[in-house]
Amino acid sequence: MTTDSPDSPDPTPTGSPPHDPAKKQASPPLLLRWLGLPKEAEVGAVMPVLVVACATVAPPLWEHVRTTFTDHTVVFWGTFFVSNGFYWGYSALMALLDLAEFPRALWRFKIQPAKKPTLAQYRKASARALLLQVVVNLPLIVLLDRYLCQWSGRNILAEELPSPLELVKHLLVFAVIEEVGFYYGHRLLHSPRLYRLIHKKHHEFTAPIGVAATYAHPIEHLLSNLLPLIIGPLVMGSHILVFWAWITIAQFTTINSHCGFYFPGFPTPLAHDYHHQVFNANYGVLGILDGLHGTRGNFLRWQESWLSGVHVSETGKPRE
């Protein structure tokens, strides 16, 4: 760990791109540069896929679910398997790449190639993720089951699927709530006292790995990771399949943000990887509130250097 203080100066990190410095990439459009997103990583690209799935795959799937299982089975076990299954499946693929370097060709997309993850780090992060899934996620799923199936007065199995337009509306509301909740909660956790008592654990990984996305204190995991995620679907009264789709999107996003690789066509993990390197920049998910509050630090300059293939030294100056 570089420093224990969340208020230390914003250094230029040492992560350097593995691609050829001579092959400079074109600069992203102005809006995406402001958000910290390169041109090929527009988050909105996922929307058409979800709309098509809503119109084609979801109806027969929901008809099978509603006629086969009870509401408690759908809410409890469905949510349990959707959240845990995707998390461990994606993390296992990243472990194969990190530890076995398979496929080796993908290592040219490593953000911090000098920092190779170890088996000990994977064991530590996996143990913490499993612990939190048992002591935090599981009780929350129990409460969610009770709320949706009993206290809310909703009939989960009788609810019709949303239209594609309604799906997009719900997801946009979720994204706004997640950005607001995570940004301000995360920034609060970087106050000196809370950082030392709670958030410092997550920053043990200055070169993050996918499974360490939930390497955190239980209080942080509940208040900063999970509550901003589930408030949107509860407020909107969203269909359970929409809730599952949102969980999957959020887990993909957080694991991708911590995976340590920037794969072509994937949403960029550079912003959050930079956060783990310098600690005091890029607190949000989308980057919108970071742009508004001026908490980008030197990220945009560092990102331009990384994308253009300029290897950055510890002094912040390009290597000769």
CB-count exposure of residue 64 (10 Å: 0-12, 13-18, 19+)? exposed
pLDDT in tens, 49-104: 666 666 567 788 888 888 999 999 999 999 999 999 999 999 999 999 999 999 99
Query: CA-CA distance, 216 to 237, in Å (whole number)?
Result: 29
Bridge partners of 261, per DSSP, are 110
pLDDT in tens, 220-278: 999 999 999 999 999 999 999 999 999 999 999 999 999 999 998 899 999 999 999 99
- Does the reported pTM lie above 0.85? no
| CB-based contacts of 134, cutoff 8 Å, min separation 6 | none
Task: Indicate whether 300 pLDDT > 80.
Answer: yes
